[in-house]
Amino acid sequence: MSIFPKLSFKNQAFKLRESAILDAATAVLSNKGYDLMTMDDVAGAVGISKPSLYKHFKSKEELVGEALIRLLDGALDYVAGLDAALGPVEKLAALLEWALRVRLEGGLPFLPSTSPHVRDMLMRNLKYMMKVLKLNRQLEALVKQGQEQGLLNRDLPTDVILFSYYARTCDPAVEYLQNFSKMAPDDIVRHMLKVSFEGFR
């Protein structure tokens, strides 16, 4: 494909290794969270040494940032691939379902912004913020369309719906249901969607 096959090959191997590192980081992150994740954990999970890890990512912050950027890319791709015939609310529901399934399969919560530390770190990450803002623009448009069509509550400010929507993607109720109620993933997803859109009533 490339005019520089050798370079491309090396590059490809490099990308593969990088991907393996991001997989490991994602797994450790979802188990232990940012503060408890150590670079030794990640290196151990990949099967390389810590200095090798630092050849790929120059800091813990950068590594985590890249893992989250990959997650955001997945969300952006998913939204881009949605059937254009779907209505705004159907699209929002589909993406929320996608995000919940990613989490239930051991992935990361969408916006791990609960910790001020992590939140600040991410807000300093320009590449991450660019993608967050891109996704945010799309979702905000969907919410506004939904409100205009009367499918989403018009009495609520758009921000309230939008931020609550983000919050649902990382709702801790998912983990409670998984751990304490031993509910099947499909049921969890179904109920969480219902609660999000219809509320407790």
Least distance to its own copies, CB of residue 13, Å:
34
144 binds its own copies (CB under 8 A): no
Residue from 8, 12, 31, 38 binding DNA (CB under 7 A): 38
Q: Give which of DNA, its own copies, none residue 38 binds (C-beta under 5 to 8 Å, depending on kind).
A: DNA
Report the C-alpha gap between 61 and 40 in whole angstroms: 14
Choice between 13 and 195, CB closer to DNA: 13
Which class for 101: exposed (0-12), middle (13-18), buried (19 or more C-beta within 10 A)?
A: middle
Touching its own copies, residues 37-76 (CB under 8 A): none
Contact yes or no for 151/142 (Cβ under 8 A): no
Report the C-alpha gap between 29 and 42 in whole angstroms: 9
Report the C-alpha gap between 169 and 184 in whole angstroms: 18
Produce one character per residue of 12-38: b if its CB has 16 or more CB atoms within 10 Å, e if not: eeeeeeeeebbebbbbbbbeeebeebe
Q: Give which of DNA, its own copies, none residue 165 binds (C-beta under 5 to 8 Å, depending on kind).
A: its own copies
By CB under 7 A, how many residues form the interface with DNA?
Answer: 20
Chain residues in the site for its own copies (CB under 8 A)? 31-33, 35-36, 92, 111, 113-117, 146, 151-153, 155-157, 159-161, 163-167, 170-173, 176-177, 180-181, 183, 191-192, 194-201
Chain residues in the site for DNA (CB under 7 A)? 10, 14, 17, 36-40, 48-52, 54-56, 58-61
